[in-house]
Structure 1
Amino acid sequence: MMAVTKERRRIVIIGGGITGLTAMYYIQRAIDAENLPIDITLVEASLRLGGKVHTHRKNGIIMEKGPESFFDRTGSVKRLAQDLQIEDSIVGNALGKTFIALGNELYPVPPSLLAGDAPHISSFITSRLFSVSGKVRAAGDFFIPRTQLPVDQPVGAFLRRRFGAEIVENLVEPLLASVYAGDVEQLSLQTTFPELYEVEQKHRSLLLGMRKAQSSLFYSDIPKQGAGIFQTFKNGLETMVEAIEATLKPGTIRKGVRAEAIGHTEDGMAIQLSHNPTLYADDIVVATPYYVAQSLFEDKTMLQPLEAMTTATIATVNMVFKREQFDDLEALAFFVSRNSDLTITSCTWSNLKWPLTASEDYVVLRSYIGRVGDEAIVELSDREIEQNVIADLQQTLQVKGKPLTTIVTRWKNAMPQYTVGHTARIAQASEQLQQQFPNVHLAGSSFRGISIPECVAQGQAIAAQLVAAHKERLHID
């Protein structure tokens, strides 16, 4: 390896969520491995790193305030864990029953639909989730022709056409609300489940196509028999955030400092900060929510396509109970239909799904509240939220008494909505940015995937891109 010039390059990453942290880690790793003349700084407005990845550990009990697991279909998290030497601490979820709450009653979901298995028609026929007429309508999938619409159409409309309204209302919407907190009538099929469109175009029938492809309604890969498809770390998701932070050099992270504006200079770009000196950069990675990215440019027409984006506000409610407060119920989670009167949108038995979460003396329940069109609940006080959630749990699970501990965590405007047109909007915004700020790069959950693996993959990709570009500019072989 030979450097023809010693000119130093400057990279600044705005946003210390998992996307920005992953980019930071891999760029710093390349700098150290190849002795690259690059200076890198990460700026984070809050006093902690990790963004929505936030683990609470106390008295031997582990609770997730944000996301609680990941489905690592492409292996991006596994690669990160290997590089951080924490792969041995990855654990898979235990298996168990999942339910949908209709009214105050819990109905079991056909196991094949959630275990990653290809769905059997018998799953629909025997399920109590659907009426006889609903099951007959679902069988229409075998006969209905392919859609003539493009892939960028609402998920709800696409699946309703194939299976009928009852399948969408009693199964699809509750499950997807737990992931996107959104409205299936607005979510983009192209951005969320393009593989369903491809299966339909190839096989016509989704059910027959998924059987042939050995894929499921929501997951494109089938795990090994008896294995759960979700993963986390033994000591919580924040393990990977802590592992990354431990590798970063002192002085390269600025917490509690907000980036306020990005502008051009004679030889690069300048980032105006809320306090501390102005930062100068040759490349900037903006790994923030889309509305923060928009605010960074004086030209208010910059990133204008993103103005059509929206977000959902949600909250997680973790509760710890004594085991004797529950009757026996073999379950991992239940999801709530919009037709229900319940406040919560989903509830997970964290200690059953992840046995290392707590000892057998306790039950740890993790509930979500809030979704598009139903966000006022999040604005209530912690006490009011706790009362509402307890009332829901008493109706559905016959919980006895009150929890020992309750932790309410609000995530305001935290769930970007990938509505129809999302892919085109991101492409237009990126093109606009390229024209005026070619060395500013967008990444994160607002743009090309909201899951942890998708955000990690974005961080890995942008790091590889920037390192390669700087090596080319600096004539390093």
Structure 2
Amino acid sequence: MGPGQGERDVSAPPYHVVVVGGGIAGLAAAWYLGRDGGGRVRVSVLDGAPRVGGKLSVSEVAGVPVDEGAESMLARRPEGRDLARAAGLGDRLRDPGTLAAGVWSRGELRPMPEGSVMGVPADLAALARSGVLSPAGLARVPLDRVLPATPVTSDVPVAAYIRARLGPEVVERLVEPMLGGVYAGRAEDLSLDATMPRLAAAARTHRSLLEAAQEIRDETPRDAGPVFTALDGGMGTLPPAVAALSGADVRTGAMVRELRRTPTGWRLTVGPTRSPEVVEADAVILAVPAAPASRLLAEDVPGAAAELARIEYSSMAIVTLAYPRAAFPGTLDRSGYLVPPVERRTVKAVTFTTAKWPHLREYDRDLVVVRCSIGRLGEERALQRDDAELVAAAMAELAETSGVRGLPRGTRVTRWGGALPQYAVGHLDRVARIRAAVAAQPGLAVCGAAYDGVGIPACVATARTAAGRVLDHLDPGGEWRHDGRQPQAQGA
């Protein structure tokens, strides 16, 4: 009998599952397969890059380990923290020193209004105090309470709905920079359902968006703890720790060029065209971005391939600068600030990394590390500049907005081409169609940032789902331990 067709002889060789992609989603999938496979699953992870981790990477700037990609993860979703603890990194989880952020608006650095929900204000007094909006823009916001309802019967662009309720300035100066920081995308195109699910749900039951935002804010427990958490040593230390924990055979420099269905499972073609390697698998998990997943599925799952090909990705660069403390006038009491596209500046977001994450000061108390993010969807020309030009743009930004003087002690430019999937209108339906097409193929699953969220916990959650689907195929009786429980810390 083939895989999934009956009870497996415990003396038989273990099932072979191949995970394509060695980012955090693929490595987490390998971990879940190993944990829940009851010793009857052999896992291989194949990645074409020279290292594991995908967009999670850390390197030193002026002697301080600073992340090149994501510097933190949501703390209020358990998947990321639990995986870190399972990988033996629980004692290195760190809380932020401050999350007070700003917005560069109308020629000044102003505080982000307190109580906002993804840029949507929940407190009109705080919005007025911030000064982010013009007097006319501020006067438009409370009309939301008296305007007729804006019907939301299907998915709509974020900008269209919020503009109808609160006016254009809330979109331009609060929501746009927030979405630009998370997705490097634009509110005119992004899906309300996919990027703001709680507000989208409220939009279908509340006439007033202000009241919906207030309700969401009030539902958050006051003792919920910090929104984000980081790792001492960098989030880039998580992937290699998970790779080691998984027990999988992890291969880098192993590009998967072709995936084809066979009578008993799947066949993968790996490596260069002139000397290809064939790998046979009982099941496969694709943990790669949408474009390579589309190419691999084109022959056997054309429906999913076509939908995946429609998911756009944006590119960005992160310029990291390390200054002596004396270069900054005054007190660094903010975690950073966002820059709305309407301001027409090169830098879209700035993080005062050593203020946000105080544990980094232990490396050098006289050093201030700053990360400047550049690039949104449609702004690829800004990224065509060479590294020196991007560094100069970031330095000029800090000089104007924060009064920084002098030269940094260290700089680093990290470019992420095609980094962030764009959750366009209809994204959730598209993902449902992709998963339905994939589910029709026994022993196949997908996971990663293209589906249910771009953050680390969301990616880990998709990995757990993918691993569970594969194990259900290999063991339809459900006797293995793949019940969706969270990973246990080492030694627990």
TM over 0.5: yes
Name the structure 2 match of 1:280.
280
Q: Distance in 2 between matches of 1:50 and 1:109?
A: 32
Provide the C-alpha distance between the structure 2 equivalents of 1:198 and 1:264, rounded to a whole number of angstroms. 40
AA of the residue aligned to 1:365: V
Secondary structure, aligned partner of 1:407: strand
2:262 pairs with one of 265, 275, 283: 265
Asked whether 1:235 is paired with 2:233, we answer yes
Query: Counterparts of 1:53 and 1:124 in 2: how far apart (Å)?
Result: 35
Q: Distance in 2 between matches of 1:473 and 1:186?
A: 44
Q: Distance in 1 between matches of 2:388 and 2:326?
A: 24
Equivalent pair of 1:95/1:228 in contact (CA under 8 Å): no
How far the C-alpha of 1:469 sits from its partner, in A, is: 3.4
- Structure 2, unpaired ranges of 5+: 1-6, 482-492
Within 5 Å, give how 1:262-341 maps onto structure 2: 262-275=259-272, 277-297=277-297, 299=299, 301-302=302-303, 303-329=305-331, 330-341=333-344
Note if contact 1:153-1:188 (Cα within 8 Å) is conserved in structure 2.
yes
Aligned counterpart, 2:192: 189
Deviation at 1:116, TM superposition (A): 11
Alignment partner, residue 43 of structure 1: 46
Distance of aligned partners of 1:328 and 1:322 in 2 relative to their CA distance in 1, 3 Å threshold: same
> 5 Å matches for 1:67-466?
67-102=70-105, 104-113=107-116, 119-215=122-218, 221-222=220-221, 224=223, 227-249=225-247, 252-275=249-272, 277-297=277-297, 299=299, 301-302=302-303, 303-329=305-331, 330-358=333-361, 359-435=364-440, 437-466=441-470
Q: 1:274 Cα deviation (Å)?
A: 1.2
On the 8 A contact 1:315/1:408 being kept in 2, the answer is: yes
For the 8 Å contact 2:335–2:356, the answer to whether it is kept is yes
For the 8 Å contact 1:5–1:475, the answer to whether it is kept is: no
Q: Over aligned residue pairs, what C-alpha RMSD do you find?
A: 2.5
CA distance in 1, matches of 2:120, 2:347: 27
Contact 1:146 1:201 in 2 (8 A): no
CA contact (8 A) 2:446 2:466 kept: no
Cα offsets for 1:31-57 (capped at 9, x unmatched) = 4xx332x22100011111111011123
Deviation at residue 453 of structure 1 after TM alignment: 0.9
Q: Please tell me whether the aligned partners of residues 115 and 229 of structure 1 are also in contact (alpha carbons under 8 angstroms).
A: no
Any conservation in 2 of the 1:90–1:233 contact (CA below 8 Å)? yes
SS of the residue corresponding to residue 141 of structure 1 reads helix
Under a length normalisation based on structure 2, what TM-score does the superposition of the two structures give? 0.88
Whether contact under 8 Å (1:77, 1:456) holds in the other structure is yes
Deviation at 1:201, TM superposition (A): 2.8
Asked if 1:23 corresponds to 2:29, the answer is yes
Matched residue SS, 1:57: strand
Tell me, in whole angstroms, the C-alpha distance in 2 between the residues paired with 1:475 and 1:367: 50
Q: Is the 8 A contact 1:449 1:455 kept in 2?
A: yes
Rounded to whole Å, the distance in 1 between the matches of 2:76 and 2:30 is: 23
Residues 145, 327 of structure 1: alpha-carbon distance in 2 compared, 3 angstrom cutoff: same
Paired residue type of 1:261: E
Structure 2 letter corresponding to 1:404: R
SS in 2 for 1:331: coil
Cα deviation for residue 440 of structure 1 reads: 2.0
Change in 2 beyond 3 A, CA 1:458/1:434: closer
Q: Distance in 2 between matches of 1:423 and 1:246?
A: 33
Amino acid at match of 1:321: Y
Alpha-carbon distance in structure 1 between the residues aligned to 2:403 and 2:460: 40
Shift of 1:475: 6.7
Q: Deviations over 1:398-429 (max 9, x none)?
A: 21122111110101011110000111222223
8 Å CA contact 2:315–2:377 kept in 1: the answer is yes
Instruction: Name the SS for the 2:315 alignment partner.
Output: strand
Secondary structure in structure 1 of the residue aligned to 2:348: strand
Deviation at 1:213, TM superposition (A): 4.3
SS in 1 for 2:293: helix
Structure 2 counterpart of 1:228, one-letter code: P
Give the Cα separation in 2 of the matches to 1:233 and 1:322.
Answer: 23
State the Cα deviation string for residues 189-242 of structure 1 (Å, max 9, x = none): 111112102223333223223334445xxxx745527x5311111221123213
Amino acid at match of 2:91: D
Conserved? CA contact 2:121–2:127, under 8 Å: no
Q: In structure 2, give the amino acid aligned to 1:268.
A: G
Identity of aligned residues (%): 28
Alignment length, in residue pairs? 466
Amino acid at match of 1:432: A
Specify whether residues 248 and 416 from structure 1 end up closer, same or farther in structure 2 by C-alpha distance, changes over 3 A only: same
Using a 3 Å threshold, how does the CA distance of structure 1 residues 214 and 388 change in structure 2: closer, same or farther? closer
Aligned counterparts of 1:180 and 1:40: Cα–Cα separation in 2: 32
Distance change (3 Å), C-alpha of 1:383 and 1:223: farther
Measure, in 2, the Cα distance between the counterparts of 1:232 and 1:40: 28
Contact 1:94–1:228 (Cα < 8 Å) also in 2 = no
Letter paired with 1:445: A
Deviations 1:311-343 (A, max 9, x none): 111011111011111101422111111122321
Q: Which runs of 5+ in 1 are unaligned?
A: none
User: How far did 1:354 drift?
Assistant: 0.2
Q: Report the CA distance shift for 1:286/1:3 in structure 2 as closer, same or farther (over 3 A).
A: closer
- For normalisation by structure 1, the TM-score amounts to 0.91
In structure 2, what is the Cα distance between the partners aligned to 1:464 and 1:361?
Answer: 48
Q: Mean Cα displacement is larger for which, 388-397 or 80-89?
A: 80-89
Contact preservation (8 Å) 2:34, 2:246: yes
